[in-house]
Amino acid sequence: MNTNPTPIGRALLSVSDKHGIVALAKELVSLDIEILSTGGTAAALRDAGIPVIPVEQYTQVPEMMDGRVKTMHPKITGGILGLRDRHAADAGKHDIPWIDLVVCNLYPFAKTIADPKVSREDAIEQIDIGGPTMVRSAAKNYGWTTILTSAEDYPDLVAALHDHHAVPFEFRRKMAAKAFAHTATYDALIMNYLNEETFPAELSLGFTLHTDTRQHTEAADRLLRYGENPHQKAAVYKALGAPGTQDPFSLLDCPVLQGKQLSFNNLGDTYGAIDTLREFDRTACVVVKHATPCGVAVADSPLEALEKAFEADKTSAFGGIITMNSECDEQLAAYLSPIFFEVLAAPSFTPGALSILGKKKNLRVLQTGPLPPLSDRMTGRFIGNDLLLQNKDNKVVKKEDLKIVTKRVPSDSEIGDLLFAWKVVKHVKSNAIVTAFGHTTYGIGGGQVSRVDATQIAISKSGGPRPMVLASDAFFPFRDSIDALRGSGVTAIIQPGGSIRDQEVIAACDEAGIAMVFTGIRSFLHG
C-alpha cells in the first residue's frame, strides 16, 4: 500500500449536506484542482461562480431512471479505485483519468423517515446507491485516494494541501475509517427501517457520537469528562432509528438549561429516574442515587410529591437526581434551593424557578418536555464483546391481575399502595424490596444477594413500626423474610409467587395477619 503523501489533481464533489462545500471548492480551484460534480452540488457550485465539470459530461452518459443512475460508470469507479502503481496501463487503455479526492455524503434517509407521514415508496427513493459506491471505493483505496464525508474535515484537508501540497497517509487512513463508519451507520438505519423481526439473524445498530453543543465544539472535546470513575474514558452515542422502532423519549434530546456537562453517571442515573417516573400518569416525583430509586411519591400537587419523595430517604438523596413529571415553578425551586443534588429534570420551568435555580451554578437543569408512557422498546447490555438483548419489562399489573392467597383480603387502599410499590420495585436492582404507604415509598432495599437481607434493609429504612405495604420483585424462597416483618407494621405484600415453599410463606402471612397477593410475573432487574 502506498503510504506516501498523495497530490490531488482531480476531485469529485457530490453531497446532500452542502454545508461548507462552496468554500471547499473555492480552495480546491485556487490550487488548480479540477472539479467534477453531480446534480444539485454542481448547480450550487455554478451559482457560486466555480468552474465545474458535470459528471454526465465527463462520462458521456446522461443521468437516467429518475436520477437513480448517475455516477455508476467505470470512468468514475475506476478513477477512484485504481492503484496508481499497478493499474495505469488499464486506466490509459480505457481512458480513465484518476480521481484523487471524493467529497460525498449520502441522501438524508434519517431525515426522510423522521416524518411519520412519509410513504414507504418515498423513503425508498432516499436510499443512496451511487453515493455509498463512491464513498466505499475511495475509502478502500485510501492508499491513493482521499475521501471526505463530513464538512468538519474540510479545513484539515485544505490546511494539508496548503502546507504540503499533498494529503498525508495518516489523514487518508483516518478519513477512510470515518467513511466506512458513515456507510455502515447509513445501512444500519435502512436495515432497521425495513426490518420487521424482533430478533433478526443479523443485527446492525447505528449510533453517532453525541456532544453537548453548548460547551464543546472541537471533536477532541466530545468525550464525556470521564466514565464511572475519573480514570475511565467515556462517551455517549445517540441511536439512529426509524419511527416506531425506538423509544420516543431520548435523554440526549433534552435541553440542558444550566450547569456543567452531564457526566457518565448523571446520564445513567437521570435516565433511570425518568424511566421510573414514566410508570405514573399522576403527578409524581422520583429521586435516584447511584442508579437506584431512593424516594418515589405520587400526590395531588407537585410540591407534595417532591416533599414526600425527598423525605422518604433524604440521607440517600444527598447528591442525587431529582425528576418530576410536572412543571417546576418558584415554589418547587425554593424548596430545592438549600438541597445539594446533581441534576433536576422536569418537563418545563418557569422563569422564576430558573432564576432561583440559577444560583446553584453546578446544578444541571434538564428540560424533558412532556414524558411519553413507557414504550415496548428493546433493552440490553454488553457481555464482553457480545450483546444481550430483550424487550423492556413494561408489563402493567392491574388490580384484576392480582391473586389473593391469604385469609385476610387487602383493602382497596392497600391494593392501591401495593400496585404503586410494584411499579417502583421493578426499577430497583434485584434482590429488591420496597415498602410504601399513601403512594409514597418508605424504605427501599435493593442489590442484595439474599432476599431476607433486602427485606431487612427496606424495613430499617421505613421509620417504623407504622402501617405500610411491601413489594418483592421475585418470590420469597423461604418464610424468613415474612418472619422478619413481625412488628414492622407491614399489613400487605405483593410478590410474583411461584416458590416451591409458597404455602409456607402464605402460612407465615396468615399467622401474622398480613394480606398477600400474587402477580404471577417476576420483575428481576440485574443491571
Q: Is residue 373 part of a domain?
A: no
Q: Let me know if residue 375 belongs to a domain.
A: no
- Whether residue 215 lies inside any domain: the answer is no
Q: Give yes or no: 290 in active site.
A: yes
Is pLDDT above 70 for 323?
yes
Q: Is residue 81 part of a domain?
A: yes
Q: How would you classify residue 514: left for phi > 0, otherwise alpha for psi between -120 and 50, otherwise beta?
A: beta
Shared-domain flag, residues 86 and 157: yes
46 and 154 fall within a common domain: yes
Task: Give 478-505 pLDDT, tens digit per residue.
Answer: 999 999 999 999 999 999 999 999 999 9
CATH of the domain at 110: 3.40.50.1380
- Residue among 290, 314, 392, 429 flagged as catalytic: 290
Provide the whole-model pTM: 0.86
Q: Would residue 87 show up in a list of annotated catalytic residues for this protein?
A: no
335-376 per-position pLDDT tens digit: 999 999 999 999 999 999 999 999 999 999 999 999 998 888
506-508-512-514 Cα dihedral, nearest 10 degrees: -30
Q: What's residue 297's pLDDT?
A: 98
Distance between CA atoms of residues 267 and 248, nearest Å:
17
Q: Are 279 and 355 found together in one domain?
A: yes
Q: Which domain CATH number covers 420?
A: 3.40.140.20
| Domain annotation covers residue 323 | yes
Q: Is residue 172 part of a domain?
A: yes
Contact 102, 148 (CB under 8 A): yes
The mean pLDDT of 249-275, rounded to a whole number, is 94
* Averaged pLDDT, 198-223: 72
Residues 175, 39 within the same domain:
yes
Return d(Cα 172, Cα 170) in angstroms, integer: 5
What is the rounded average pLDDT of the residues 4-24? 96
Is there a single domain that holds both residue 277 and residue 425? Answer: no
Q: Which residue has the cell 388490580?
A: 399
pLDDT band at 220 (very low <50, low <70, confident <90, very high): very low
CB count within 10 Å of CB 164 equals 12
pLDDT tens, 106-142?
A: 988 888 888 888 888 888 888 888 899 999 999 999 9
* Single-letter residue type at 284: A
- Final residue of a structural domain among 367, 386, 419: 367
Residue 500 and residue 434 in one domain: yes
Q: Are residues 24 and 157 in the same domain?
A: yes
Please provide the DSSP assignment of 166-225 as one string: SB-HHHHHHHHHHHHHHHHHHHHHHHHHH---SS-SS---EEEE---TTT--SGGG-S-S
Claim to verify: residue 427 and residue 353 sit in the same structural domain: no
C-alpha cell at 33: 484542482
Reference 239, options 251, 221, 222, 227; nearest CA is 251
Domain presence at residue 414: yes
Helix (H) or strand (E) holding 293: strand 292-298
Look at residue 216 and tell me whether its pLDDT is greater than 50: no
Residues 173 and 277 in one domain: no
Q: Identify the domain containing residue 326 by its residue range.
A: 252-367
Answer with the one of 157, 177, 194 that is the final residue of a domain: 194
**Which tens digit of pLDDT belongs to each residue from 416-447?**
999 999 999 999 999 999 999 999 999 999 99
Number of domains in the chain: 3
Q: What is the DSSP string of 271-285?
A: HHHHHHHTT-SSSEE
Task: Tell whether 80 and 180 lie within a shared domain.
Answer: yes
Q: Is residue 211 part of a domain?
A: no
Interval 298-316: pLDDT, tens? 999 999 999 999 999 999 9
Among 194, 224, 241, the domain-final residue is 194
Beta pairing, strands 515-518 & 403-404: antiparallel
Catalytic residue among 18, 26, 87, 140: 140
On whether both 172 and 311 belong to a single domain, the answer is no
Whether residue 358 is found in the same domain as residue 410: no
Please report, to the nearest 10 degrees, the dihedral formed by the alpha carbons of residues 177, 183, 189, 191 taken in order. -110
Identify how many contiguous H helices and E strands the chain contains and give both numbers: 19, 21
